[in-house]
Amino acid sequence: MKGVALALLLLACTGCFSARSGVERYHRRVRVGMETKDLLRKLGKPVETVPVPGQGSDPELAVEQWRYAWDLLAGQLVTGYLTLGIGFIFMDYDAFGFDVGIGRDGRVRAVTEVYRRK
C-alpha cells in the first residue's frame, strides 16, 4: 500500500514541473555550426521563421531566425491524466522556447538562451 501511495505522489509531483526542463533538453541538442537539415531532424520545423534584414553579404551573420516554442510536453499531459487531473492544478502553463540564427550557408550561427514566451 505504501508503494502505491509513493508512486501516486511521485506522479503528482512530476505534473507540477513546467515545460522549461524539456525545452532545455532540446536546447542542448543545438550546436553553433550544425547544418539546418540536422537541426530539422533533431527538433522538427520551427514555430516561426523570421528574416533578419540588413545583414549584407557577411557569411558569419544570421539572415534568418527560427523560433522554437513548447507549451506542455507529452509527459505533463500523461501525468495529469494519471493523477486524475490533480496534477493539472499545479502545472506551469507558460510556453518556453529559444531562437536559432541561421546563416547564408545554411548553418546555425547563434542560439539564444531558453526564455519564457509571452
pLDDT at 31: 95
Number of domains composing the chain: 1
pLDDT at 54: 80
Quote the domain boundaries for residue 73.
2-117
pLDDT at 15: 46
- The tens digit of pLDDT for each residue in 1-48 reads 666 565 555 554 554 456 677 788 899 999 999 999 999 999 999 999
- The tens digit of pLDDT for each residue in 59-111 reads 788 899 999 988 765 555 666 666 666 656 656 667 788 999 999 889 999 99
pTM (two decimals): 0.70
As a three-state string, the secondary structure of the chain is: CHHHHHHHHHHHHHCCCCCHHHHHHHHCCCCCCCEHHHHHHHHCCCCEEEECCCCCCCCCCEEEEEEEEECCCHHHHHHHHHCCCHHHHHCCCCEEEEEEEEECCCEEEEECCCEEEC
pLDDT at 58: 78
